[in-house]
Structure 1
């Protein structure tokens, strides 16, 4: 079921992103980011309590688990900050493509840190998925070679660093879940999620209090949208964390790239925007990557 769970997570993440985009008209970037964690934490906590009420055994965390949670929290925040910084340079496309090398980085770190190995179909799917992301990012704006040549070195370096940050975060999430021993993967993922979001919420609250305390008043004015954003974010994270407790992060991230396909479908269906042949090719390649994993029985 991990593929279905990942696709559902990507779908919910699309909703969360759309709501966060709406919030940016009323909140700062920091405020819109905080909503993802602060308003998602209650829903994640309720999910954990629900599992406990239906007789899921909630495992007891140890020191290893807590270190992985700290690493996951900090590296995800760092990855997000680096991606935003990369977008401030002149080549938005390059930054996007470089950051989407995440599955490759996750495959390497997953092997080095957790000993996760990938079969040939998984490696092929990662390559096909990366090509699909590149095609969608380029669209009708030239070729991949032109994009790489026109990208600035800082944009490339920061974009790649962003991908490393997100990859390490995923690896740490999986490491935290696996460190909980023989507990059910669903319970492993739920406890990991609550701890990671709680720590990220605390860190962001401290930052906002020190830097832009007025953000809290702005958030209260849009609490309904913030609550919906938190719910969608928590639902997406439940899916991501559960899938990463079940399978290597590189495979989960490869399937998760289908989120870009959902974004293009929404662009065509709701906003009546056109899509280029390269973007269609990219969508097809991402879907093919998912089908390769389904066919291989990964």
Structure 2
């Protein structure tokens, strides 16, 4: 199957834009459902849409198939559980009142995911790609840190652990897509998405049923407000997985840093508010790193 060499970048940009919109939707649900409840919305209400995506793919590619081995389920479980754990650690770090430092450390993900991808999956990265990853990540750090920000060991460690687990999650899902050996990368990505969301839905629903039944009932009652957030979450994940099917997780997650710029545009921080020299430097470094990645990586 012929695939355009730059298609992964298109998928990544679409995924980053959809994720920005999903985050805005989830933010509005946090007040009524709580943090865990708003997070679970992306899994519980995203799964039906992922199943619809899979049905559409099967209709479009009636002859395509895949080979499902135990290793596929192992990779999927790693990706799904790591993503849940990463989110929990990130929220725990933010409760330590070091939000800015935590954010900065979690944005170390591209560097960590590059290391994991090389060691675990055998992904190859050129020297230019490594340089691009470091430049773009330094831009995130420049925007995240502020002079005089209080440093604390515990939230920093939690933030780094969160970034590492987000990296493990991305590597796990790419490993699952590759292990599926599908005839079409679209079928492989979509099938893995359904499997991952199913695992996450079962795990979090079970947790809430045991330890926060009122919270689970609140999620079910708020289905009207949650359906669109679930769709956006599933839509974003669909394009993340399509990108993972075509390119290394390191390149995908580095290009995904443009989500920070998208979020700034949505919030009006870039358009309506004056940009500080530090923010300007950070944006310039992100753009430079992404440009280098796309042209030389």
TM-score normalized with structure 1 length? 0.93
8 Å CA contact 1:60, 1:180 repeated in 2: yes
RMSD over aligned Cα atoms = 1.6
Indicate which of 27, 33, 38 corresponds to 1:32: 38
User: Does residue 71 of structure 2 align to residue 64 of structure 1?
Assistant: yes
8 Å CA contact 2:65, 2:182 repeated in 1: no
Specify whether residues 52 and 110 from structure 1 end up closer, same or farther in structure 2 by C-alpha distance, changes over 3 A only.
same
Instruction: Tell me how far 1:96 sits from its aligned partner.
Output: 1.0
Q: How does 1:143-222 map to 2 (within 5 A)?
A: 147=149, 150-181=150-181, 183-222=183-222
> Number of aligned pairs?
290
Report the counterpart of residue 74 of structure 1 in structure 2. Answer: 81
Report the counterpart of residue 100 of structure 2 in structure 1. Answer: 93
TM-score normalized with structure 2 length? 0.93
Deviations 1:183-217 (A, max 9, x none): 22111111110000000000011011111111233
Deviations 1:108-127 (A, max 9, x none): 11111111110122111101
Specify whether residues 67 and 41 from structure 1 end up closer, same or farther in structure 2 by C-alpha distance, changes over 3 A only.
same
Specify whether residues 58 and 226 from structure 1 end up closer, same or farther in structure 2 by C-alpha distance, changes over 3 A only.
farther
Specify whether residues 198 and 182 from structure 1 end up closer, same or farther in structure 2 by C-alpha distance, changes over 3 A only.
closer
Query: Unaligned regions of 5+ residues in structure 2, if any?
Result: 1-6
Query: Unaligned regions of 5+ residues in structure 1, if any?
Result: none
Instruction: Tell me how far 1:267 sits from its aligned partner.
Output: 2.0
Report the counterpart of residue 116 of structure 1 in structure 2. Answer: 123
Specify whether residues 116 and 270 from structure 1 end up closer, same or farther in structure 2 by C-alpha distance, changes over 3 A only.
closer
Q: Which moved more, 1:259-268 or 1:198-207?
A: 259-268
Report the counterpart of residue 260 of structure 1 in structure 2. Answer: 260
Specify whether residues 156 and 286 from structure 1 end up closer, same or farther in structure 2 by C-alpha distance, changes over 3 A only.
same
Structure 2 distance, partners of 1:71, 1:16, is 24
Deviations 1:129-175 (A, max 9, x none): 1111011112xx31xxx55xx31111111111001100000001110
User: Does residue 226 of structure 2 align to residue 226 of structure 1?
Assistant: yes
Instruction: Tell me how far 1:182 sits from its aligned partner.
Output: 5.2
Q: Which moved more, 1:36-45 or 1:85-94?
A: 85-94
Q: How does 1:276-295 map to 2 (within 5 A)?
A: 276-295=276-295
Deviations 1:208-240 (A, max 9, x none): 111111123322443222001001000100111
Structure 2 distance, partners of 1:91, 1:224, is 34
